[in-house]
Amino acid sequence: MRWLFACLLVSVLLCLQIVSAQTPISSCTDISSSGYYYLTQNITGFLSGQYYCIGIFASDVVLDGNGYSLTGSGTGYGIYVLRTSNVTIENLTVSQYYYGVGVFLSSNSTLANITMSNNEVGALISESNTIANVVVSSDKPKEGIYLVSSANNIIKDSVLQNSGLIVSDSYNNTVTNTTVNGKPLVYLENVQDYEVNESSNAGQVILVNCANITVRNLDLSNTTVGVELWGSERIRVENVVANNNVGGIWLESSSNSTITNVTANSNRYDGVVLRFSDSNTIASSTFTNNGEAGLNGEAGLALESSSNNLIYNNYFNNTNNVAIYGGQPNTWNVTRTEGKNIVGGNYLGGNYWGSPDGYGFSDTCGDSNGDLICDQPYVIDDYNIDYLPLVRIVATPTPTPTPTPTPTPTPSPIKTEIPTIAMIAIAALVLVAVVAVARSARKKTVKQMLEDMNDFEFFRRVR
């Protein structure tokens, strides 16, 4: 009898083992032991009390979505993986979380056949992992695949739409057969003396530990970041458009590189970011309407702990044109030299400092000698001064046609001359008076507007 009971117990335990090895999932849950898990229906929201729907905290796990979906409402993680190895997540759609899939302190994970749509970040990955046959898409550009503090990641056969790749302190990665907006994602690491031009038809360009590379004649818009330089030097980015991205162009720990004839407009965060990047040149480029997300510190150009960069002949027109963190010195103009500048003037010098409200420094500065260079320098901070800010040629308003006086050619007797002279004198006096009134009225208006602007500036600072 005792033996029979023991056999029964063993059979039950075996059955349980098999069941736990093939576990159906029909709601948000934690996975804390190895095995095969599969979704049996679409799931929404979070696991109660957590910021994720499915948490994986065990190694040797397969999560098979079976074609079903996880859907959030803009925050947290769809799938959160922590301290594991050999986890496979496959065959599902993850939508509308802040992070679609987050994999932390985990190695040898595989994300395969996953569609990540409208998450702020599709996949945030650390350590060595593989992403294959993944589709990351958004209605508007968001942060697609983010490789952080990791190495030896493989990204292959994937499609990034209104999305892209970002790497941060991540090396020895391989990216193959992956597109951004239908165009190749060009990821180069440890490459020297190379050109990425229009023949590459790149949709995004990422250079890690590269040197002497030219990136030119490309439209790198509607992605995470058009061009990213990480730990690279002597890179030339020329004639590139980087519009409507999360960020236009990003240089991190990169030096002696030049960005020229670039257009970076309407990026959600900054037009160009330099972090820990020295001795670069940014010239003859246009940065407008960046920073639409409205967070602090977004700007046309953001410099963080970056010094000795030369920034001149650029057109800035953003609510915040420049943001500087760290306060290191940079140079914002070249010596006044003859040559067409970015706003059509005849001298190269500094930059044009416009503002969407039309009252930027360059929009309103005085130019007493008419050389289209402001009388006063533009002071960003004590270490960052544009000594030769540019003035734009403003189209002259069409003058009001002066009524042509019809002279009376008839020789007049002397007595009629007196009233004529008097009339001219009166007319002249009236004209002077009218002009004076008009001038004072205009002065008042401009003064009023400047006051209004100061109020606005003050409000913005206080806020």
Residue closer to Ca ion by CB (options 334, 373) is 373
Residue spans of alpha helices (H) in 253-401: 361-364
Q: How many CA atoms lie less than 13 Å away from 180 in the CB half-sphere?
A: 33
What is the C-alpha to C-alpha distance for residues 53 and 48, in angstroms, rounded to an integer? 8
Provide the token pair at 29: 């849950």
The H-or-E segment that residue 211 falls in is strand 211-219
Min separation Cβ 340 and Ca ion, Å: 17
Sign, CA dihedral 325-348-233-220, equals positive
Min separation Cβ 348 and Ca ion, Å: 14
Residue closer to Ca ion by CB (options 157, 367) is 367
- Per DSSP, 40 falls in state S
What is the C-alpha to C-alpha distance for residues 391 and 364, in angstroms, rounded to an integer? 8
Residue closer to Ca ion by CB (options 45, 377) is 377
Min separation Cβ 346 and Ca ion, Å: 11
Provide the token pair at 219: 């439209």
Residue closer to Ca ion by CB (options 55, 345) is 345
SS3 63: strand
Residue closer to Ca ion by CB (options 368, 398) is 368
Binding site for Ca ion (CB under 5 A): 367, 369, 371, 373
In terms of Cα–Cα distance, which of 139, 140, 144, 142 is closest to 159? Answer: 144
Min separation Cβ 331 and Ca ion, Å: 20
Residue closer to Ca ion by CB (options 196, 373) is 373
Residue closer to Ca ion by CB (options 129, 362) is 362
Min separation Cβ 405 and Ca ion, Å: 37
Q: Where are the beta strands (DSSP E) in 406-447?
A: none
Length of the chain counted residue by residue: 463
Q: Is 130 left (phi over 0), alpha (psi -120 to 50) or beta?
A: beta
Q: Is 385 left (phi over 0), alpha (psi -120 to 50) or beta?
A: beta
Give the bridge partners for 227, in sequence order.
205, 249
